[in-house]
């Protein structure tokens, strides 16, 4: 199995996406985005910055022509309606081309279910936003030996809701594996853990009907990655990049992460 995934890895893009979470303001976000863009020019690496909603316009303006793409951190499951404080997919037109859905913090703090995430995924498909679908297990689930079953169940429930709503899995889907127990806790996952989960994720996608195309779905690692830890994950052929949290707010950290991702992209191109 490992050989099959490794052979397919060359066809998958290498992606580094920065999730700024609830940080920056419209006054400083554009400058930071421009500095990151200037410091991260590695060939073959898809770069995405996901700032807060209120900073999208400033960041999009600062990144115009840089090759760095813009993503939103979330989207509502409905197109329009009486949902105070929410932002829908059509509102993101012209501001973002990517969107994170199902982030572990949204699941934890806003109680987002797999079914709700499935409906958000459908909105991304309808309005041309490339989705980064987040999945991941809690520490208790990993310690109980249920990590792969938990993540597989999340994927299956999300895809079932997508199917129920009349949608089909987007060809440009990206999945981010977030071991929740390794985010902001000081604990770290191993590259081999992430690679095993990436294989499990692709197996679920294949069982859901993606078949041969499952090997082409990029899987990112999203567990408090830094320039010091990224090497272990990108050394795994089954891992195609990272969803970077706090480190994405630091120019030197992003420069180091993207530089390492550039080596991975160059290796896949040979």
- Write out the catalytic residue numbers: 103, 178
Tell me the two tokens of residue 194.
């992430």
- Residue 236, φ and ψ in degrees, nearest 5: -85, 120
Tell me the HSE value of 89 on the side-chain side, using a 13 A CA sphere.
20
**Terminal-residue alpha carbon distance, the chain:** 21
The total number of residues written for the chain in this structure: 270
Burial of 67 (0-12, 13-18, 19+ CB in 10 A): exposed
Secondary structure (3-state) at 226: coil
CA–CA distance, 141 with 149 (Å, rounded to integer): 9
Place of tokens 């700032």: 51
The answer for residues whose C-beta is within 8 angstroms of residue 246's C-beta and 6 or more apart is 21, 184, 224
Find, among 212, 147, 195, 204, the residue nearest to 6 by Cα. Answer: 195
CB 51 within 8 A of CB 36: no
């Amino acid at each position: 199995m490992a050989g099959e995934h490794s052979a397919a890895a060359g066809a998958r893009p290498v992606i580094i996406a920065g999730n700024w979470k609830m940080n920056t303001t419209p006054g400083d976000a554009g400058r930071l985005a421009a500095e990151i863009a200037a410091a991260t020019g590695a060939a073959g690496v898809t770069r995405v910055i996901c700032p807060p909603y209120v900073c999208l316009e400033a960041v999009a303006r600062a990144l115009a022509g840089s090759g760095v793409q813009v993503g939103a951190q979330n989207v509502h499951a409905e197109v329009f309606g009486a949902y105070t404080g929410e932002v829908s997919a059509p509102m993101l037109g012209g501001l973002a081309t990517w969107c994170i859905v199902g982030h572990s913090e949204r699941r934890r703090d806003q109680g987002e279910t797999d079914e709700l995430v499935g409906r958000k995924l459908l909105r991304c498909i309808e309005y041309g936003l490339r989705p980064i679908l987040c999945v991941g297990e809690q520490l208790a689930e990993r310690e109980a030996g249920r990590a792969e079953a938990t993540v597989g169940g999340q994927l299956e429930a999300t895809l079932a809701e997508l199917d129920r709503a009349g949608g089909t899995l987007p060809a440009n889907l990206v999945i981010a594996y977030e071991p929740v127990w390794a985010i902001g806790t000081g604990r770290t996952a191993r590259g081999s853990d992430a690679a095993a989960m990436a294989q499990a994720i692709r197996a679920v996608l294949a069982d859901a009907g993606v078949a041969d195309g499952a090997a082409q779905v990029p899987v990112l690692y999203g567990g408090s990655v830094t320039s010091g830890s990224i090497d272990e994950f990108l050394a795994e052929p089954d891992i195609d990049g990272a969803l970077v949290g706090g480190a994405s707010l630091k120019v030197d950290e992003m420069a180091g992460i993207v530089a390492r991702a550039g080596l991975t992209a160059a290796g896949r191109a040979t």
